[in-house]
Structure 1
């Protein structure tokens, strides 16, 4: 079998692959699972944060998401509003944006459990899910 960019480096052994991919799921969720949790449960067990600017949030955001730009994730605000152990899911514009990862890191530094919603707004729209817009727009 001729070598190519896919086969040149062998795949990891199955047990190592299981550990890797299961670990990945501890850090990320996807748009489909987030949508399902939000639409099927009054309390999905997490707070969904849109970490983009207030202007972009107003133009369209995931229904049920709260707007909290990364720079506003500070200890005094978070501890006043959210008990320890609150799980957060962060998202931003999409895979080309690292705002959700930066916000997730800020939340983790404050001791909160956190996951990133892979795909962000781009992934949400790719799944065919609607956005909510502020009524004033």
Structure 2
């Protein structure tokens, strides 16, 4: 008897290596961002692409807030074209980070998504920075 897992065979190792290596060129995770911050090795700009209210209620420390709709040539004029942007949104249920990554790449910037977003950050046990009384992230308005 074959399990549901094996119903579709796994890719050959060489193809799997290429696939998973390629994914890492597009993604980073909450732990890597946190560890980089803790080590003082922040060579990227962390961008929360949710709306301002969500950002105020709780965001990843060190992040700036640029909602996806505001990612324009004008809003990014102060950043060199080789600036690595790491974008995140509310979590796996939100595609705001993907939309932001598309915009940044179209504008010629290197970009990675912090997979998991705010949800992943909290799941790792990391704390959010809060600008207002509430500490509950709200829905994405990206």
- Common fold: TM-score over 0.5: yes
Structure with greater helix percent: 1
Residue 44 of structure 1 and its aligned partner are, at CA, apart by 1.0
In structure 2, the residue matched to 1:45 is: 43
In structure 2, the residue matched to 1:5 is: 4
Residue 3 of structure 1 and its aligned partner are, at CA, apart by 2.1
Where in structure 1 are there 5+ consecutive unaligned residues? Answer: none
Q: Give per-residue Cα distances to partners, 1:4-43, cap 9 Å, x unaligned.
A: 32111110011110000000000000000010111211x5
Give the Cα separation in 2 of the matches to 1:19 and 1:65.
31
The RMSD of aligned alpha carbons is 1.2
In structure 2, the residue matched to 1:29 is: 28
In structure 2, the residue matched to 1:127 is: 124
In structure 2, the residue matched to 1:84 is: 81
Give the Cα separation in 1 of the matches to 2:2 and 2:113.
35
TM-score, normalised via structure 2 length:
0.91
Q: How many residues align?
A: 134
Give the Cα separation in 2 of the matches to 1:96 and 1:120.
9
